[in-house]
């Protein structure tokens, strides 16, 4: 059998189409009066839509409309984007970054199937060597404080982190280094001790049979992308009576339907919900993780609500045939929408970075009866910037007396800004939905025509 002839495949053959037809990126500030158009034409390849959306999202651009077509061998997208203030994108460096990342000169680093471009490494700003720690387990009040304390006791400094909670599950990615050398922690004995303590902290299996998990790596990853993957693998979309979160306003509940476009052989997924930043990324990320390919899509969010319409097939070319498949897609997309939703208060803290800062801050939050629902930690130079979305330990709104006590306790060493996360007062009405007929018209109507 060893002498059986096997054909030779040139490993560069897959890149031949890209070399013959390099991607084209056009940044258009003249066609639309209130947004910048980012047009991308490229040879179609698996995951390309997620790559493009990820680049725009990482630049904190707001995608107000998008029109996507990738049927056949070519990928053609148009994105209407603005900056955070709702203005056109005119910054030269931002435009050059988009052209570099998505154009023919773009180059990417792949880590476990996740692509990131130099210059925007998941909110980590020139931190040098680090160790990435991934944790997932059952959430409880004060858990982030306990995790931070363990890392401080092990002489690790947290330079960046992202923490999500959903359906009583916690997932976090932390970048740490040695508090003395500022280098990655790579000693096997030390890593083993760290893993053991963190696993003990997270516990074994919860009542639903889900096991806590820890993972260590030395490479960069895309935090939001990885957190979606972790929570999807943890099946956080499986809700039962005991663990269902109750801190979501009714208007945060997305309306998701799955239909069939028989003539064209697609499954049609419609998502309607209150618009928010990174919504498109979260939906595309989840569809990609579920092994679905988006062939056409129309996205709009001109008003307070977003409407997203996707024409998809499974990677094997099949559509969603069974009610069980459709129900699973609906549940997974609902979870993707809700993972970032936090009502209540956000606490923005800025302080001079020091070892144990995160442990100190989370301890103070815990002692004041606050539960962290989501958190982001970044370090820029010598400044640490932390954002915590909090509620009280019972999941209710935070009393302002607690906030005043918090100000008095940390105000002398840190800058604290308290913001009320906007809540939606009423259910969306039909007149509030954004329309998708601006460019393609209703894709569903066109395919059925």
| Residues 6 or more apart whose Cβ sits within 8 Å of residue 377 | 158, 159, 160, 161, 162, 174, 358, 384, 385, 386
pLDDT at residue 182, rounded to an integer:
86
pLDDT at residue 162, rounded to an integer:
95
pLDDT at residue 236, rounded to an integer:
93
pLDDT at residue 15, rounded to an integer:
55
Counting as low any pLDDT under 50, the low residues of the chain are 1-2, 4-6, 8-9, 13, 107-127, 241-244, 246-247, 423-449
pLDDT at residue 242, rounded to an integer:
42
What's the DSSP call for residue 204? S
Residue 15, token pair as written in the block: 């890149």
pLDDT at residue 106, rounded to an integer:
58
Hey, where are the domains in the chain?
Answer: 17-110+254-340, 117-234, 345-446
pTM of the model: 0.82
pLDDT at residue 382, rounded to an integer:
86
CATH superfamily of 17-110+254-340: ACT domain (3.30.70.260)
pLDDT at residue 215, rounded to an integer:
78
193 to 13, 150, 153, 444: CA distances (angstroms): 46, 11, 12, 55
pLDDT at residue 125, rounded to an integer:
31
Residues 203/153, Cβ–Cβ less than 8 Å:
no
Q: Does domain 345-446 have CATH number 3.30.70.260?
A: yes
Residues 158/358, Cβ–Cβ less than 8 Å:
yes
pLDDT at residue 108, rounded to an integer:
44
pLDDT at residue 429, rounded to an integer:
35
pLDDT at residue 348, rounded to an integer:
92
pLDDT at residue 105, rounded to an integer:
65
Domain boundaries 117-234, CATH class: alpha beta
pLDDT at residue 205, rounded to an integer:
58
User: Do the domains 345-446 and 117-234 match in fold?
Assistant: yes
């Amino acid at each position: 059998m060893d002498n059986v002839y096997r054909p030779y495949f040139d490993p560069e053959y897959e890149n031949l189409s890209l070399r013959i037809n390099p991607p084209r990126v056009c940044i258009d500030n003249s066609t639309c009066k209130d947004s910048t158009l980012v047009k991308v034409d490229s040879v179609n390849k698996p995951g390309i839509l997620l790559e493009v959306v990820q680049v725009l999202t990482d630049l904190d651009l707001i995608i107000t409309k998008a029109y996507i077509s990738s049927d056949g061998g070519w990928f053609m997208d148009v994105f209407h984007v603005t900056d955070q203030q709702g203005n056109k994108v005119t910054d030269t460096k931002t435009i050059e970054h988009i052209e570099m990342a998505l154009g023919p000169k773009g180059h990417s680093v792949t880590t476990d199937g996740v692509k990131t471009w130099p210059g925007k490494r998941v909110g980590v700003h020139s931190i040098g060597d680090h160790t990435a720690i991934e944790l997932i387990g059952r959430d409880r009040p004060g858990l982030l404080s306990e995790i931070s304390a363990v890392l401080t006791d092990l002489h690790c400094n947290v330079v960046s982190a992202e923490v999500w909670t959903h359906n009583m599950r916690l997932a976090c990615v932390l970048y740490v280094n040695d508090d003395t050398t500022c280098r990655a922690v790579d000693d096997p004995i030390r890593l083993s001790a760290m893993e053991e303590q963190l696993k003990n902290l997270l516990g074994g299996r919860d009542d639903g049979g889900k096991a806590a998990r820890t993972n260590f790596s030395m490479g960069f990853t895309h935090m939001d992308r990885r957190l979606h993957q972790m929570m999807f693998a943890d099946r956080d979309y499986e809700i039962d009576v005991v663990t269902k979160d109750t801190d979501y306003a009714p208007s945060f509940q997305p309306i998701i339907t799955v239909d069939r476009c028989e003539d064209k052989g697609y499954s049609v997924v419609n998502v309607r919900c209150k618009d928010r930043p990174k919504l498109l990324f979260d939906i595309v990320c989840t569809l990609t993780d579920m092994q679905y390919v988006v062939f056409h899509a129309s996205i709009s969010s001109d008003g307070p609500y977003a409407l997203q319409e996707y024409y998809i097939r499974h990677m094997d070319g099949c559509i969603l045939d069974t009610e069980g498949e459709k129900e699973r897609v609906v549940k997974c997309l609902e979870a993707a929408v809700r993972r970032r939703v936090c009502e209540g208060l956000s606490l923005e803290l800025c302080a001079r970075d020091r070892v144990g800062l995160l442990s100190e801050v989370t301890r103070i939050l815990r002692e004041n009866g606050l539960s962290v629902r989501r958190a982001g930690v970044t370090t820029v130079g010598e400044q640490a910037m932390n954002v915590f979305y909090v509620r009280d330990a019972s999941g209710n709104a935070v009393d302002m007396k607690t906030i005043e006590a918090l100000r008095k306790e940390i105000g002398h060493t840190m800058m604290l800004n308290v913001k009320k996360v906007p809540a939606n007062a009423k259910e969306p009405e039909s007149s509030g939905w954004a329309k998708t007929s601006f460019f393609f018209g209703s894709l569903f109507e066109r395919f059925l025509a």
